[in-house]
Amino acid sequence: MISIDKLNENQLKAVEHIDGPCMVLAGPGSGKTRVITYRIANMIVNKNIKPTSILAISFTKASSIEMKNRALALSNDFRMNKVTYGTFHSVFFRILRYFENYNIESILDEKTKRIGLKSILKGLNIENSDDDETIGQVINEISYVKNELMDKRDFKSEVLTNDEFIKVYNFYEEYKQQMNKIDFDDMLIKTYELLKHNKAALDRVRSVYRYILVDEFQDINKVQFEALKLIANPNNNIFVVGDEDQSIYGFRGSRPDFLLEFEEYFSNTTKVLLDINYRSKGEIIDIANRLIEKNTNRYEKVIKCGQGNGAKVNYISPEDSEEEAVYIAKDIKDKIQEMYTEYTDFAVIYRTNIQSRALVDVFMDMRIPFVVKDSIVTIYDHWAAQDILAYLRIGVNPNSNKDWIRIINKPFRYISKDNLNLIKDEPDFINSLINKCDLHPKQVKTINDLDIDISYVKGLSPKNAISYIRTTLDYDRYILDYCANRKIKTNGLIEILNELESSATNFKTIQEYLEHIERVKSELVDNKNNKETDGVIFTTMHSAKGLEFKNVYIIGANEGTIPHEKSYDIDDEAKKNDQIEEERRLMYVAITRAEENICISSPVNKYGKRVSKSRFVEDIKAPTKKEMDSISIGDKIYHKKFKEGTIVEKNGDSIKIRFKDRDRALNSKVCLTKRIIWKI
């Protein structure tokens, strides 16, 4: 027998559930993996349920392996090994192998997929088709359309025109058919189609998997959910664990609705709440609760603390991202000396990868080891940054024909590909362009002007040089035209250019700046290859999910960063609210990674302009619903300025307080937020 006495009351209720649908709402640090593994052990060892009838699904290979290992550690009963543990992709591919005779050779690997899409983009003459980020965005968009089971014609791409997207989508499907391959999205789609249209296959799968467990259910997308509904029916022995407050992968098609509407799809659902956080100190849980209760699309719940109080919650407002990075680096160095702790006890969490640039620069200069959780692609690898850097390299070395070819038509200078091919190997690119190509006099003047401008750029500091290229050489106008032609927003590309310009601030010469960039790239490659490094963790909010650290710094807590500007730059009010709520969930995930200390940083300036603090910082400091509701007519209060008084009227946030001299109308929310009044 497996002993389950050490579980708390609600964990025990979840573990002992056997038949019918069950939804476990598991807050951060509440022991959800423990519940799943104990339930598997309880079903097999204590209840003698056939292990081969149990399907346990996780979202990543690592979490699936962890689930299996933790389950096996609970009992040495040989039956525990016969459970089907896997990801959606591995489980669904197993079904395809059985019914459709696919094999491992049928899978299109990611490298071949990228090469194929790159070729398709080039064949359609789509600009920047060589850029890894562009290819990655197109891959993500195709994946989103498939996982949402939506019509490609209804999708609005952020990198391609509608016509381009449809053509790329169709050509990619043809490319796979010609190679007789399927990709990871096809594994899900084809399994769903098989189960939907082949009753014999569906009945067979249902007869094998009589009990389904799904971890991180808030991350599920439409095609996964629809396939699960088919398999679970009619017995509906489906047990899901998730937290709608941690649903943060909307760009992949996941959303909290599948958890919020679970009881509509599966009637007579048993609902269990795991609301004790065993990870974080009380002060951290308090600010997390204060933040997330401002969301409306959620189950109402308040997470309790199982660790006691004693955390430090710190708010800082540095001048800019450079000063922010320096403050954090110094703070970590001081704490390492004071507390005799390790670098891996510290994490810096940010909304977008672009924010790591200043951190990497400062930590390299101060020789503090760090580990970047996300990809090693830097801001310097982006195609727009590469264009600017090509201009700078030409300033240093005018014989770099590769760089001349890259920028000659950015902005458009009407130089044909034929002319470029004619002179690409000539030792003097500009002279050859003028003398060997049949150019119009206006073109010749444009090229001569460009040559003079490049000579001027050479003598500027890198920051001023980048500013000159963007303004006088009209590179920013090229970006605006590029976006207008594709009907996409300019914000993301302009931010790349702003960050690049900011990165050049502390360098005197272009050569020094270019050498620094190469050093950063080399450091990040070494960083990625050295998995054993004891270093401060740099991670995005998305990648931080599932991790925990003693000390957390959340940087860039400003409007436009978190929430990201793209979340509120939306005309549809309902969609805008959904996006803001997802951004708030991201902030919630970041906060709940912290065990003992948290520092939230909101720089005063960004790219030389004033920025306001994130509304989420205000959410944290604002009174809770409970605190607002606790103020009633007749309450005695104390006001910092007007002293004692009595509330005589209340209408929403507005209250009227009778003081000794006269009645005063005040906003209770503002007063409570700023700690101006309190009950006596």
Task: Output the known binding site for ATP.
Answer: 26-33
Backbone angles phi, psi at 676, to 5 degrees: -85, -35
Residue ranges at the known binding site: 26-33
Quick one: angle between helices 462-471 and 383-396, nearest 10? Answer: 110
Tokens matching residue 59: 């979202």
DSSP run (H or E) holding 395: helix 383-396
Parallel, antiparallel, or unpaired: how do β-strands 84-87 and 312-316 relate? unpaired
Is there a contact between 497 and 607 (Cβ–Cβ < 8 Å)? no
- Please state whether the peptide bond connecting residue 234 to the residue before it is cis, i.e. omega within 30 degrees of 0: yes
Nearest to 321 by CA among 371, 271, 355: 355
To which residue do tokens 């649903």 refer? 247
Residue 524 CB partners (closer than 8 Å, separation 6+): 360, 372, 376, 378
Q: What is the DSSP string of 111-164?
A: HHHHHHHHHHHHHTT-TTTT-HHHHHHHHHHHHHHHHTT--GGG---SSS-HHH
Q: Which residue, chain included where needed, has tokens 């699904």? A: 57
Alpha helices (H) along 75-109 = 88-100
424 and 405 Cβ atoms separated by less than 8 Å: yes
Burial classification of residue 258, based on how many CB atoms lie within 10 Å of its CB (0-12 exposed, 13-18 middle, 19 or more buried): buried
Phi, psi of 57 (to 5 degrees): -110, 130
Using alpha carbons only, give the angle 459, 461, 464 rounded to the nearest 5 degrees. Answer: 105
Treating both helix axes as pointing N-terminal to C-terminal, what angle do 356-365 and 321-339 enclose, rounded to 10 degrees? Answer: 50
Q: Is 375 helix (H, G, I), strand (E, B) or coil?
A: coil
Pairing of strands 677-679, 636-639: antiparallel
SS3 227: helix
H/E/C letters for each residue in 579-600?
A: HHHHHHHHHHHHHCCEEEEEEE
CA distances from 557 to 311, 487, 500 (A): 20, 29, 20
How many angstroms from the chain centroid is the CA of residue 42? 36
Distance (Å, whole) CA 335 – CA 456: 47
Residue where the block lists tokens 């690898």:
381
The phi, psi pair for 497, rounded to 5°, reads -70, -40
Spatial separation of the C-alpha atoms in residues 361 and 517, rounded to whole Å = 9
**Alpha-helix residue ranges (DSSP H) falling in 439-509:** 441-458, 462-471, 475-486, 491-503
Q: Is the dihedral of CA 372, 373, 374, 375 positive or negative?
A: positive
Which of 452, 454, 450 minimizes the C-alpha distance to 439? 450
Is residue 372 exposed (0-12), middle (13-18) or buried (19+ Cβ within 10 Å)?
buried
Return d(Cα 509, Cα 183) in angstroms, integer.
47
What residues contact 88, with CB distance under 8 A and at least 6 apart? 57, 59, 188, 224
